[in-house]
Structure 1
Amino acid sequence: MSVMTEPKIENRQAQPYMGIRTRVPMQKLDVAIPQGLGEIFAFLGKYGVGPVNAPFVRYHIINMPEMLDIEVGVPVANTLPDEGHIHGGVLPAGRYASLIYTGIDHGIQGNAALLEWGVSQGLVWDRWETKDGDAFGSRLEIFLTNPGEEPDREKWETEVAIRLADTQEG
């Protein structure tokens, strides 16, 4: 069984979401992600709003040895007013390269495979260097499997999607 799909490139529309942005070390992601998503789903439930797509983690700045600047989010039809640390945002439209990996423990492998494929294809990511690490215009891990429906973490499907830095229109 393959743990990854072939990478692909596709155009995506802008997607409103409600999210929580935080800085977290790599080893705390397994706590920060479900906790943040739980808060957002509770917030949406209070307003009777459901997700229009799968929840995600958006990686704003990646510095694996130190801190990650991430945002956990839930796509919605229209953003709601901000409340506490829960705020509205929009995933930017554009051309994205993506692949899907299976098994929660294959995240680093899936991200590396997409990045390596992009280099081999001559793609340019929407990314830049900052003093805190590598910043991305839109780099996502989208959780395609609902853990409430599939408890086996080895069967969870996650999509890695990174926006390309397009220089041409269209």
Structure 2
Amino acid sequence: MSIDTPEIKERGEQPYVAVKRWISWTEFPVIADRLPEIIGWLAARGVRPAGAPFFRYVTIGGDQNGEVEAGVPVPAPMEGEGDIHSGVLPAGRYASVAHVGHPDQLVAVTTDLLGWAAKEGLTWDMYEDDEGEHWACRLELYHSDPAVQPDMGKWETELAFKLAG
């Protein structure tokens, strides 16, 4: 797969609410299916999302598993409830690339983005230990609303990975 030329973008801090789980990649729908619940939780509090829903890969383990957040940006910091927690995505420089197509293609898009960054001499804000790769911020942002665009082959997604420094 060939990606469009990635961009380096400055992103400010962004408050969010999310759920977090350690999952195997085959269990990904378990966390993905929580996004409507989070959006409903916000609506019940009169809060509109401040941007696209996302998946944040916090830790990527070596055995096809990882710690993932399903989240939604909010306009201002707020308290979570139950297993919905709040946080702030960090400010900084991000390598970002847009993709239009089925989410199943994002593994190949990610591989291409990682390869591009290596060629450019860019390094990620992450570290590795026995548990896996711990990312400061590695996002999949979903700009398409499934209710408006039911054809997943036309979904607009953005990868945004925080750079070191």
Smaller-chain TM-score bracket: over 0.9
The amino acid of 2:72's aligned partner reads V
- Uncovered stretches (5+) of structure 1, i.e. residues with no partner: none
The amino acid of 2:114's aligned partner reads L
Q: Secondary structure at the match of 2:34?
A: helix
The answer to which of 57-66 and 91-100 deviates more is 57-66
Number of corresponding residues: 164
Q: Distance in 2 between matches of 1:147 and 1:101?
A: 16
Q: Residue 82 of structure 1 is aligned with which of 76, 80, 83?
A: 80
Q: Secondary structure at the match of 2:49?
A: coil
The answer to which of 100-109 and 132-141 deviates more is 100-109
Q: After superposition, what is the alpha-carbon deviation per residue over 1:104-162, rounded to whole angstroms, capped at 9, x for unaligned?
A: 12110111111000000000100111221111000000001111100001001111111
User: 1:118/1:3 Cα in 2 relative to 1: closer, same or farther (>3 Å)?
Assistant: closer
Report sequence identity in percent.
39
Q: Secondary structure at the match of 1:151?
A: coil
Assess if the C-alpha contact under 8 Å between 1:105 and 1:154 holds in 2: no
The amino acid of 1:37's aligned partner reads L
The amino acid of 2:54's aligned partner reads F
Residue in structure 1 matched with residue 154 of structure 2 by the alignment: 155
User: CA RMSD for the aligned pairs?
Assistant: 1.4
Assess if the C-alpha contact under 8 Å between 1:26 and 1:64 holds in 2: no
Q: Distance in 2 between matches of 1:14 and 1:86?
A: 19
TM-score scaled to structure 2, two decimals? 0.94
1:72 Cα offset (Å): 0.8
The amino acid of 1:135's aligned partner reads H
User: 1:65/1:102 Cα in 2 relative to 1: closer, same or farther (>3 Å)?
Assistant: farther
Q: Residue 65 of structure 1 is aligned with which of 63, 66, 77?
A: 63
Q: Distance in 1 between matches of 2:30 and 2:130?
A: 26
